[in-house]
């Protein structure tokens, strides 16, 4: 997830672009840059790091002009660096592009363009776009962009300038957000409304496959096929703080609602076009190496550790390789048995978690290869690991992780299926069935989010209690642990998660009259066992909320006080759905208690010390 902004008018563009990028820095802060038409032509200044670095450069050497585009980056292709920063140009430096999204077929396009003599300087997919537009240019920038996007696969929002037509700014949207701001004698583009809200409250919101051609005095809207379209102007009446959260009250709620997109983005380009296999060429793992793996260690902290618990079940089920899951802060100190045929998987949203980094280095010292699952390209774990699988969740601001966690689950599903396909431990028909079910997950998550009002009532009731318990079996227990952590970290209600079958071994003594118990019942082969455990806590006076699959409501409802049904999916995929209502319950419980949802006490987003 990156932020783009553009301006064309009669004012100094540099200051407007920088103001817009400040409002978009939550979308990415690996690097930033701007391109402006100056008296010397199209000039670019960009820099790795926070926006302050770019501001420093521009104070020393300003770019003076009335037309420009800007970008703040959240890296996907290519590590954060000056050269990988946007805007990108072609070899002539006459065409400049800023881009939010992913060009899936950029390697094929790059090879084709290189064969024509184009020379590339960055590792990014975006640079391909500038070369492609230059290659298609025949005197009309709009037509060149239209021809270029027809050849691109993936998700993209674009801002495009060419020195040959300095009075026009072209914007395109396909599966990545983009808005057009309409002013008086000036017009704007932005990834989000906050980027332009200080200058105009009148916007066009582009849909997929639409583009805009901006001059200082006009905005022309059309499809990428060249068909003219008309839209009503949307008048923004939000304040700036609300706009940054896209209308949501908190970043956590916004990020919960961004999960369908995060699922799609993490899967995109990694599933074969025929839907029959998972392709993880980015890992650089040969079939020979995969067949040499004898055991897997998954090492992580907090929420990432809980994703690892699901990952353990996924890999063992699909690939039939034994897996151990460890809390990173304990891993080194138990003298783990690590050998060259061990694959160590470290999981970290930020890629900077100190204990996880230490575990990575310990594994490598003992001769093991390390696979990093992280949300940050160019992070420490991404740089140091032997193999990297990026979760494309986009920037996560709330301390309590939601979309990063579920994207980690998607990464484990992809990796497990990749192993199964290579090792032939599952039939091709089953792999295809799982992939088809994964494609349905984003829409199924959306259907859960539409029922948030039901979960809000549950949460408000829970907020009156000081203690709460979660129970489940199998992967339901793994999800129960994540649900318990979410509730604790933002509502401060004491909660514990237990394997439902362990209740009789001591913890049943904690159940008393009226205490809330949330029970996950999504694993069909464990229904009878879990329902028996529910009856045990009910007999001691517990008030039970059941989270179960659609189709099993009637059976489960007989054993619980309240029931919330999630869309039915394959049992192995249920954690990607069952955790969503738990996230919402935690959010609304914290809200009912009037806590700071996004910044819970005593906690930080990235734990960079042991």
d(CA 251, CA 256): 9
Catalytic residue among 79, 295, 538, 605: 605
Identify whether 87 is preceded by a cis peptide bond (ω within 30 of 0): yes
Mapping DSSP onto H, E and C, the string for 493-511 reads: CEEEEEEHHHHHHCHHHHC
Q: Are 338 and 363 in contact (CB under 8 A)?
A: yes
SS3 assignment for 340-409: CCEEEEEEECCCCCHHHHHHHHHHHHCCCEEEEEECCCCCHHHHHCCEEEECCCCCCCCCCCCHHHHHHH
Give the count of alpha carbons within 13 A of 306, CB side only. 23
Is residue 2 annotated as part of the catalytic site, yes or no? yes
Cα distances (angstroms) measured from residue 210 to each of 1, 135, 194, 464: 20, 22, 21, 49
Task: Enter the DSSP assignment of 572.
Answer: G
Q: Residue 489 corresponds to which tokens in the numbers above?
A: 């970290």
- Taking the C-alpha atoms of residue 521 and residue 534, their distance in angstroms, rounded to an integer, is 10
Contact present, 338 and 326 (Cβ < 8 Å): no
Task: Give residue for tokens 């006009």.
Answer: 218
Residue tagged active-site, from 2, 245, 254, 301: 2
State the Cα–Cα distance between residues 346 and 297, nearest whole angstrom: 8
Task: Please state, as a whole number, how many other Cβ atoms lie within 10 Å of the Cβ of residue 256.
Answer: 24
In the three-class reduction of DSSP (H, G, I as helix; E, B as strand; rest coil), residue 287 is classed as helix
Q: Is 605 a catalytic residue?
A: yes
For the chain, the residue count is: 610
- At residue 123, the 3 state secondary structure works out as coil
Tell me the helix, strand and coil percentages in the chain, rounded to 5: 40, 25, 35
Let me know: does 377 contact 80? Beta carbons within 8 Å: yes
CA 18 to CA 4: how far, in whole Å?
11
**Rounded CA separation 205/211 (Å):** 10
Residue 373 burial (10 A CB sphere; 0-12, 13-18, 19+): buried
Beta strands 516-521 and 543-549, pairing class? parallel
SS3 276: coil
Residue with tokens 């995969």: 290
H helix intervals, 452-552: 452-462, 475-491, 527-539
Helix (H), strand (E) counts: the chain: 20, 24
Tokens matching residue 51: 């926006």
Cα angle vertex 193, ends 191, 198, to 5°? 125
End-to-end CA distance of the chain: 29
How many Cα atoms within 13 Å fall on the side-chain side of residue 138?
A: 6
Q: Show which residues are catalytic.
A: 2, 605
């Amino acid at each position: 997830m990156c932020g783009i902004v553009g301006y064309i008018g009669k004012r100094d563009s540099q200051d407007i672009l920088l103001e817009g990028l400040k409002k978009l820095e939550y979308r990415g802060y690996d690097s930033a840059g701007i391109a402006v038409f100056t008296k010397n032509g199209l000039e670019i200044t960009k820099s790795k790091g926070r926006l302050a670095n770019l501001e420093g450069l521009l104070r020393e050497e300003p770019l003076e002009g009335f037309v420009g585009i800007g970008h703040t980056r959240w890296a996907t292709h290519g590590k954060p660096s000056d050269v990988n920063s946007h805007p990108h140009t072609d070899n002539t430096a006459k065409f400049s592009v800023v881009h939010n999204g992913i060009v899936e077929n950029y390697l094929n396009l790059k090879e084709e363009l290189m064969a024509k003599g184009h020379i590339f300087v960055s590792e990014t997919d975006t640079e391909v776009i500038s070369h492609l537009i230059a290659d298609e240019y025949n005197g009309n920038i709009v037509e060149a962009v239209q021809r270029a996007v027809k050849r691109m696969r993936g998700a993209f929002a674009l801002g495009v300038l060419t020195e040959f037509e300095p009075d026009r700014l072209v914007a395109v949207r396909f599966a990545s957000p983009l808005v057009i701001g309409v002013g008086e004698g000036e017009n704007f583009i932005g990834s989000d409304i906050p980027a332009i809200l200080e200058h105009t409250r009148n916007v066009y919101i582009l849909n997929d496959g639409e583009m805009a051609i901006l001059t200082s005095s006009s905005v022309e809207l059309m499809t990428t096929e060249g068909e003219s379209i008309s839209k009503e102007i949307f008048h923004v009446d939000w304040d700036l703080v609300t706009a940054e959260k896209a209308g949501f009250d908190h970043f956590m709620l916004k990020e919960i609602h961004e999960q369908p997109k995060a699922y799609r983005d993490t899967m995109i380009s990694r599933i074969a076009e025929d839907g029959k296999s998972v392709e993880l060429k980015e890992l650089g793992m040969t079939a020979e190496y995969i067949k040499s793996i004898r055991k897997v260690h998954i090492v992580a902290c907090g929420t990432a550790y809980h994703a690892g618990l699901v990952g353990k079940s996924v890999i063992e089920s699909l690939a039939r390789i034994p897996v151990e899951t460890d809390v990173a802060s304990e891993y080194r100190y138990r003298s783990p048995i690590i050998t060259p045929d061990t694959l160590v998987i470290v999981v970290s949203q930020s890629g900077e978690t100190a204990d996880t980094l230490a575990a990575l280095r310990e594994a490598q010292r003992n001769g093991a290869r390390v696979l990093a699952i992280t949300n940050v390209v160019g992070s420490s774990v991404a740089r140091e690991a032997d193999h990297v699988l990026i979760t494309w969740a986009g920037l996560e601001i709330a301390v309590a992780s939601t979309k990063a966690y579920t994207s980690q689950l998607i990464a484990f599903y992809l990796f497990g299926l990749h192993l199964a396909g290579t090792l032939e431990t599952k039939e091709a028909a089953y792999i295809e069935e799982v992939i088809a079910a994964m494609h349905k997950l984003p829409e199924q998550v959306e259907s859960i989010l539409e029922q948030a009002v039901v979960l809000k009532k549950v949460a408000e009731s829970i907020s009156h209690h000081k203690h709460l318990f979660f129970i489940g079996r199998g992967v339901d227990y793994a999800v129960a642990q994540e649900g318990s952590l979410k509730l604790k970290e933002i509502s401060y209600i004491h909660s514990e998660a237990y394997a439902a079958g362990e209740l009789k071994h001591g913890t049943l003594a904690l159940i008393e009259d009226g205490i809330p118990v949330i029970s996950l019942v999504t694993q069909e082969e464990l229904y009878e066992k879990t329902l028996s455990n529910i009856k045990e806590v009910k007999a001691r006076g517990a008030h039970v909320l059941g989270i179960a699959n659609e189709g099993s409501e009637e059976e489960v409802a007989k054993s619980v006080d309240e029931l919330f049904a999630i869309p039915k999916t394959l049992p192995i995929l249920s954690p990607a759905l069952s955790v969503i209502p738990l996230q919402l319950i935690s959010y609304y419980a914290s809200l009912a208690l009037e806590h700071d949802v996004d910044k819970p006490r005593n906690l930080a987003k990235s734990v960079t010390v042991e």
